[in-house]
A and B are shown apart, each in its own frame.
Chain A
């Protein structure tokens, strides 16, 4: 036991002291935070006010209509062709020509620019023209603008799951799906990543020839177990770092952005128009936040996280023991490729099945995929947020542990023979014979 701890310690420390570990541990949270923070940053940074010239052939627009915070519109009179040639020299970023028949021909708007027009500027100009045109069309049709706005209600729904006992829980299927997909994908990646790390570690020891020295001190299964647990701990450490760093970084960035914008709101209370706008913005941006909050309230987070660690641990143990067996049978990473394929098939299959599970978490496919040990880690994680009967979870977990024990037994049989085999061309037939060798 003591010696397994020594192996675990070595495997853990040599990996954690590598630069690549820390790069991966830092980079992932940074990327995640960036995905979250960059749009906020883009939205809140001070935009350069764009200068846009307008030529209005329809005569519907007046300079007063053209007030906009982000774009300075200027209504120009004169010959269209003349302006087309000279707008950039006059310091305009773009020139929009509104045709005379804009009311009948909504596609007649033409926007000229020297450089390629940015999508957001194009949208802003179109929106400005569209609002005005709609307003006139409504007026012409005899509908009051106010009445019309009142009819444009947003419908959103609360999805509620009712248990057989009649208990109601508010659920959020959209959010659950995202969370489920994320956790499933994370499991898929880590099984492959850490499984192959175990395999490469075994190959390293074998090709280094240090294996013979080590197993004259400890039993092969102790070495295999120590290696698997050590690498597994590295995986858990990395998860923990990812979670802590991502939460830390994203709260830090959101604090950074929220603080000044709230201050700005307070400072601008005198400017009522500004206030309305910022409130509207806040409301629209709080929409996804509310969705996330609802999800957190509706899903059983301890169950989800607990299950995640359980399925990661045993899924990892199951697959990494198989990877260790393969590593022991070969002498180089390139030779390992042909043998890793059969182990990767169930992982990839589990990931493909997870797509079906996600679409219909109560189907037969989803049921079996989340029960059978090889596919259950990924598929059960995907199903969990939708609610799974307790007996299914227990069955799946028990089978997974049983599957792990069976696989590790099989693998250790192969491993103890494989690590001492050199210079032999390996075949599946040969490897399967090793299982029945005496010690």
Chain B
């Protein structure tokens, strides 16, 4: 575990931001931290980055109690991006890298690699003010990863990127994961969760309401519904199965039915009954999207 968050409580004067939050964040994986606005994600991230301290509970970083020395092993890209506007890109990145404990020479060498890799060599002497917003985002991403942190915290990393640059960023994130970086990924965008995350936790009203490995969570939310495309007429005489809906599929010959298995019925039993009645063209389990899971869980826990 790169992070082991144990019973963390954070109170502000008017509300409790985190209420007995415990999470295990695995090494070398992408961990999605989900939750609606104001759920407590930022509070948790600020505790991990040691911007604030928890009122109760503790956090272990790679097995040790989280302390100031771990600051250099964490890279943090906040949701609200910001750079010194009147500073040159190169100098600024050197400064930020030095704050993360790199020497000046070391930071220059590593930054040059990044500048060549991302093909932005001619930005070095430009003032941040003169860069477009997308360019500033790239610059800031470099500042987050240049010290090769063990843990990378990305808060809505794709906001403000155009599709091409978003893809570029996605590839970089995956490449970092390949090299063993653990990534804590906070977002609202469920399609990037499906695409990138290995496991997730959902926070709502200061509490962890859902956690687990991505596919395992999805399986948990399966409604045991199957979509069947078929030709012929249903007799509609099933045991252990409910027909949820039936409609024409658009194709004149085939129809689409959605079936829900009752407890104790297996998909094979459904299929067995169907093949006696109709010509089955397609048989597929309906897997819930994370978007649905998110909405469902948040509604249930509100």
Contacts and interface: CB of A to CB of B under 8 A. Distances in A.
Interface of A: 3, 6, 10, 14, 204-205, 208-219, 420, 433, 437-439
B78 A212 contact: yes
Contacts of B83: 208, 210
B98 interface: yes
Contacts of B13: 433, 437
From B46, B98, B140, name the one whose CB has the most chain A CB atoms within 10 angstroms. B98
Nearest to B144: A213
A208 B84 CA distance: 7
Contacts of B55: 438
Interface in B217-273: none
A209 B81 contact: yes
A216 B82 contact: no
Contacts of B140: 213
Contacts of A217: 71, 96, 99-100
Contacts of A214: 96, 99
B53 interface: yes
Nearest to B140: A213
Contacts of A215: 51
A321 to B, nearest CB: 21
Contacts of B95: 6, 10
A306 to B, nearest CB: 35
A230 to B, nearest CB: 12
Contacts of A210: 82-84
6 tightest A-B CB contacts, nearest first:
A209-B82, A210-B82, A217-B99, A216-B49, A208-B82, A209-B80
B221 to A, nearest CB: 34
B99 A212 contact: no
B173 interface: no
B175 interface: no
A19 B87 CA distance: 14
B50 interface: yes
Nearest to B48: A216
Interface in B42-97: 46, 49-53, 55, 68, 71, 74, 76, 78, 80-87, 95-96
Contacts of B76: 212-213, 216
Contacts of B53: 438-439
B155 to A, nearest CB: 9
A216 B74 contact: yes
A210 B50 CA distance: 16
Contacts of A3: 99
Contacts of B187: none
Contacts of A438: 53, 55
Contacts of A6: 95, 98-99
B50 A216 contact: yes
A209 B74 CA distance: 19
A6 B107 CA distance: 14
14 contacts: A6-B95, A6-B98, A14-B84, A210-B82, A210-B83, A211-B82, A212-B80, A213-B76, A213-B82, A216-B49, A218-B71, A219-B68, A437-B13, A439-B52
Contacts of B82: 208-213
A437 B14 CA distance: 12
A214 B80 CA distance: 13
A213 B51 contact: no
B81 A216 contact: no
Interface string B95-119: 1101110000000000000000000
Contacts of B68: 219
B181 interface: no
B143 interface: yes
A433 B87 CA distance: 35
B51 A420 contact: yes
B6 to A, nearest CB: 19
Nearest to B97: A217
B87 A213 contact: no
A208 B87 CA distance: 12
Contacts of A211: 82
Contacts of A212: 51, 76, 78, 80, 82
Nearest to A434: B13
Contacts of B46: 420
A213 B50 CA distance: 11
A209 B98 contact: no
B52 A216 contact: no
From A205, A208, A211, name the one whose CB has the most chain B CB atoms within 10 angstroms. A208
A294 to B, nearest CB: 49
A439 B51 CA distance: 9
A205 B74 CA distance: 21
Contacts of A208: 82-85
Contact of B71 (A10, A205, A216): A216
Contacts of A439: 52-53
B52 A218 contact: no
Nearest to B50: A216
Given A6-B95, A208-B82, A209-B78, A216 B87 contact: no
